[in-house]
Amino acid sequence: MHLLKPFSFSKRFPETEVIGSAFAGNNDNLIPLSFGFPAPESLPVDKMTVATEAAMKTQGRQALAYSGGSGPKNIVNWIKERSKLREIIASEEKIMVTAGSSQAIDLITRTLTDPGDEIWVEAPTFFGALKTFRLAETKLVSFPIDEDGLRVDLVEQELITRVNKGLPLPKLMYVIPNYQNPGGVNLSLARKRRLAELAYEYNFFIIEDDAYVELSFDGTFSPAIYSFGPERVVYLSTFSKIIAPGLRLGWAIGLPQIIEKMKILKVDGLTSVYVQEVTKNLLKQMDMDEQISYLNSIYLPRKNAMVSAIKQYFGEEVSFHEPNGGFFLWLTFPTHIDTSEFLDAAMIAGVSYIAGKHFFLENEGFHHMRLCFTFCKEDIIHEAIKRLADTYYDHVNSIQVIEEVN
């Protein structure tokens, strides 16, 4: 028998806590409010079956080859046309199809930064992006959000301070402008325009991660940041929230020079040409506006059910911004509360959530939590919030007992 010698893993791995509750599956009674998942019944299984059969019958041998059939070109054309709704005008050489928008974030980061460069982010922000930035060995600086999104005024103040003191400027600014994950807020039009102006003035790039833009409950949209700064913005979106996350199809729109460099770093070659062929066929039989309307007809009542249950069971104990779209509610508890301290108890009670600390850089956000309202039906959501409130108040009471004993 061989004696194994010790070895070391790459130093690239950051010391990031695993977010176990999000995907815990060992409790059959668990109601998952942690999942950032679409409603299971919204997944177009029947249409996907037809689209898959058509892919094999019409483009089978090509779709199964490296370069694919007509799917990739058709998907790019669809993205080009759909982007016009955000006032984005993009030619084919500015568009890249990726394996989900998360791959696009990774490719942009590795294209535009070196280890030690700064990336500025919102606080809170998507923890998956934070992991990507840390793996790229960049330095992170965060700026708060409010009801109108990123505090662009504070970003501007910091840029001015950096210039005056001769300090490094950011290479990238990462922003989720619509129904922000996790905050649920939208970046105002004035702030979008000003942020783009700052990107030109201080020569940094903006990653505009627009995964939730289609899910507007009242059907209203504002122009993308990209429309104000196409030479300094890389725009991202995805099919994950509007068709199915299992497709793993997203896209990036940016300067041709950036897209070319991203393609060099994309060592897996073209994003699954077979999946693009199937998706092309699916889009042919699907009216996207009807699809979005259908999704929102599911998600709006679920959001309302969660809001109602929170008000019923938590009262004034928590506060939150009520989003007009997207996937998430972001709860704020009293400042002395650490939501990670009763996460395990909530799991035992049969409900999961993601503690707020995961959406911040470090030692922040302890009194927040993210809840997803899209995955579960209304009655299940109501029961989940009841369980969560019971768990929370048990936790508060236990703290009070300990304080009285001490």
pLDDT score of 403: 62
Phi/psi at 244 (5° precision): -165, 135
Mean per-residue pLDDT of the chain: 93
- Band (26; pLDDT cuts 50, 70, 90): low
Query: Which residues lie closer than 8 Å to 272 by C-beta, 6 or more apart?
Result: 99, 248, 249
Over range 325-348, report the average pLDDT: 96
DSSP 18-44: --GGGG--S-TT-EESS-----GGGS-
Distance CA 348, CA 342 (A): 10
Query: Which residues lie closer than 8 Å to 177 by C-beta, 6 or more apart?
Result: 149, 186, 187, 192, 208, 209, 210, 213, 224, 225
Question: How many residues are present in the chain?
Answer: 406
Per-residue pLDDT tens over the stretch 199-247:
999 999 999 999 999 999 999 889 999 999 999 999 999 999 999 999 9
Q: What residues pair up with 325 in beta bridges, in sequence order? A: 216
Whether 333 and 339 have beta carbons less than 8 Å apart is answered as yes
According to DSSP, residue 335 is labeled T
pLDDT score of 5: 84
Query: Which residues lie closer than 8 Å to 323 by C-beta, 6 or more apart?
Result: 179, 184, 185, 303, 329
pLDDT higher than threshold 80 for residue 14: no
pLDDT score of 263: 96
Percent of the chain with pLDDT over 70: 95
Count Cα atoms within 13 angstroms, Cβ side, for 100. 12
Q: Which of 132, 109, 122, 135 is nearest to 234 (CA)?
A: 109
Task: Decide: helix, strand or coil at residue 205.
Answer: strand
**CA–CA distances in Å: residue 10 to residues 13, 14, 199:** 6, 10, 34
Tokens found for residue 317: 């104990």
pLDDT score of 21: 45
Task: Decide: helix, strand or coil at residue 148.
Answer: coil
- Band (362; pLDDT cuts 50, 70, 90): confident
For the 45-285 domain, the top CATH level (class) is alpha beta
pLDDT score of 7: 84
Count Cα atoms within 13 angstroms, Cβ side, for 144. 5
Distance CA 165, CA 186 (A): 32
Cβ of 45: how many Cβ atoms within 10 Å? Answer: 9
20-43+289-405 maps to which CATH number? 3.90.1150.10
Q: What residues does each domain of the chain span?
A: 20-43+289-405, 45-285
pLDDT score of 19: 67
Whether 173 and 205 have beta carbons less than 8 Å apart is answered as yes
Q: Which of 64-73, 124-133, 184-193 is the least confident region?
A: 64-73
